[in-house]
């Protein structure tokens, strides 16, 4: 009786079974990479806004402290988006007639809020508290990146749980002294491990990884 399958079928069978393992591994790897990609997480993608507010100009150029606008960062879970009045504090005098700022003036006149597009948005089942992080020595730029060099705001980090846990498991790699928390020009010193260990001690920083710390 003649062979139904050509001899090459043996090779094909072996190669494909062997290769299937790599194929599936590759598929899983692709899946994992897509999961961490900016397409999925929104990191590194500048967001369009109704008004082209430039942090580079205001923070980098004018040197305004983060807390001037984001006022509740040291007290509350929510850092705060400035009300229109904060913009008008300066812009009632500076560039008071600029067409770029017409939406701001319109908002102030009419009493209708400006609808910004949210850049840093954690899922609803995550409860993040700004005030405790800021109090324990986590700097603004550590998570939000070099805001003073962003002409339009983007989300610097992935904000995925894996990224949060990276610091929660080893905070000594990222903390800085309290007086440097709001400085945009802070660079981690070469002996960060040592400095970090000392700060952990001093600020009583715990490695909180229980689920209920963030998920409730």
Partner 1 sequence: MSGEPRRDLGLGSGGSVGLGGGDSARAVGSGSETQPNVPTESPAPSLQSPFWRTLEERAGDPAFQEHLYNEFPSQIEAITDPVARRTFLKLMGASIALAGATACTRQPVEKIVPYVRQPEELVPGRPLYYATAMPLAGVATGLLVESHEGRPTKIEGNPLHPGSLGASDVFAQAAILGLYDPDRAQTLTNIGDIRPWSAFLGAISAALTAQRPLRGAGIRLLTESVSSPTLAAQIRELLERFPSAKWHQWDPASRDHARAGAKLAFGEFVDAQYRFDQADVVLSLDADFLGCGPGSLRYARDFAGRRRPEQADRMNRLYAIESMPSSTGARADHRLPMKPSQIEAFARAIAAALGRSGEGGGVGNTVPEHARRFADAVAKDLQAHRGRSLVVAGDGQPAAVHALAHAMNQALGNAGTTVVYTQTAEAEPVNQLDSLRDLVADMNAGRVDLLIILGGNPVYTAPADLNFAEALARPQLRVHLSLYADETSALCQWQIPEAHFLEAWSDARAHDGTVSIVQPLIAPLYGGRSAHEVVAAMSDRPEQSGYEIVRAHWNQGATAASFETSWRRWLHDGVVPNTAFAPKSVRAQSDIPNQPAIPNPQSATSSTGGGIEISFRNDPSILDGRFANNGWLQELPKPITRLTWDNAVLASPATAAKLSASEAPSFQGGEHGQVTTDLVELKYRGRTIRGALLQVVGHPDDCITVHSGYGRARGGRVAAGAGFNANAIRTADAWSFGGGCEVAKTGGKFSLAVTQYHHLMEGRDMVRAATRDEYVRDPKAVNEHDETPPRTITLYPDFKYDGYKWGMAIDVNACIGCNACVVGCQAENNIPVVGKDQVLRGREMHWLRVDTYYRGAAANPETYFQPVPCMQCENAPCEVVCPVGATVHSDEGLNDMVYNRCVGTRYCSDNCPYKVRRFNFLLYQDWNTPSLKLGRNPDVTVRSRGVMEKCTYCVQRINKAKIESEKDDRQVRDGEIKTACEQACPADAIVFGNLNDPGSRVAKLKAEERNYSLLGELNTRPRTTYLAAVRNVNPELGE
Which residues are near partner 1 by CB under 8 A? 35, 39-40, 42, 47, 72, 75-78, 80-85, 107-108, 111-118, 121, 123-125, 127, 129, 131-132, 135-136, 204, 206, 210-213, 215-216
Q: Can you tell me the distance from the alpha carbon of 163 to that of 21, in angstroms, rounded to the nearest whole number? A: 29
- Structure tokens, 95: 């560039």
| Residues 6 or more apart whose Cβ sits within 8 Å of residue 53 | 152, 153
At its nearest, how many Å lie between partner 1 and the CB of residue 9? Answer: 31
Quick one: 18 or 116, whose CB is closer to partner 1? 116
Q: Can you tell me the distance from the alpha carbon of 74 to that of 68, in angstroms, rounded to the nearest whole number? A: 12
Quick one: 75 or 194, whose CB is closer to partner 1? 75
At its nearest, how many Å lie between partner 1 and the CB of residue 40? Answer: 6
At its nearest, how many Å lie between partner 1 and the CB of residue 8? Answer: 34
Q: How many Cα atoms sit within 13 Å of 213 on the Cβ side? A: 12
| Residues 6 or more apart whose Cβ sits within 8 Å of residue 147 | 55, 59, 66, 140, 141, 153, 184
Quick one: 2 or 204, whose CB is closer to partner 1? 204
At its nearest, how many Å lie between partner 1 and the CB of residue 56? Answer: 20
| Residues 6 or more apart whose Cβ sits within 8 Å of residue 84 | 104, 107, 108, 113, 114
Q: Can you tell me the distance from the alpha carbon of 14 to that of 157, in angstroms, rounded to the nearest whole number? A: 43
Quick one: 93 or 212, whose CB is closer to partner 1? 212
At its nearest, how many Å lie between partner 1 and the CB of residue 193? Answer: 23
Quick one: 81 or 180, whose CB is closer to partner 1? 81
At its nearest, how many Å lie between partner 1 and the CB of residue 182? Answer: 16
Are the C-beta atoms of residues 175 and 203 closer than 8 Å to each other? yes
Q: Please report, for residues 5, 42, 113, 189, 205, the alpha-carbon distance to residue 133 in angstroms, rounded to integers and kept in the order given.
A: 67, 23, 29, 20, 10
Quick one: 46 or 213, whose CB is closer to partner 1? 213
């Amino acid at each position: 009786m003649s062979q139904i399958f050509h001899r090459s079928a043996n090779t094909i069978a072996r190669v494909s079974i062997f290769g299937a393992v790599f194929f599936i591994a590759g598929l899983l790897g692709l899946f994992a990479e897509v999961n961490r990609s900016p397409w999925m997480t929104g990191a590194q993608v500048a967001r369009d806004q109704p008004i082209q507010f430039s942090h580079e100009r205001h923070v980098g150029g004018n040197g305004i402290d983060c807390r001037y606008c984001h006022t509740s960062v040291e007290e509350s879970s929510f850092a705060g988006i400035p009300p229109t009045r904060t913009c008008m504090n300066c812009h009632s005098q500076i560039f008071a007639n600029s067409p770029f700022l017409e939406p701001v003036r319109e908002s102030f006149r009419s009493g209708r809020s400006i609808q910004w597009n949210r850049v840093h948005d954690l899922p609803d089942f995550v409860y993040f508290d700004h005030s405790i992080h800021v109090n324990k020595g986590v700097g603004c730029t550590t998570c939000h990146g070099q805001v003073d060099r962003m002409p339009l705001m983007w989300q610097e980090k992935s904000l995925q749980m894996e990224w949060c846990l990276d610091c929660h498991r080893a905070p000594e790699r990222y903390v800085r002294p309290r007086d440097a928390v709001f400085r945009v020009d802070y660079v981690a010193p070469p002996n960060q491990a040592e400095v970090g260990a000392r700060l952990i001690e001093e600020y009583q920083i715990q490695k909180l990884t229980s689920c209920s710390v963030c998920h409730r």
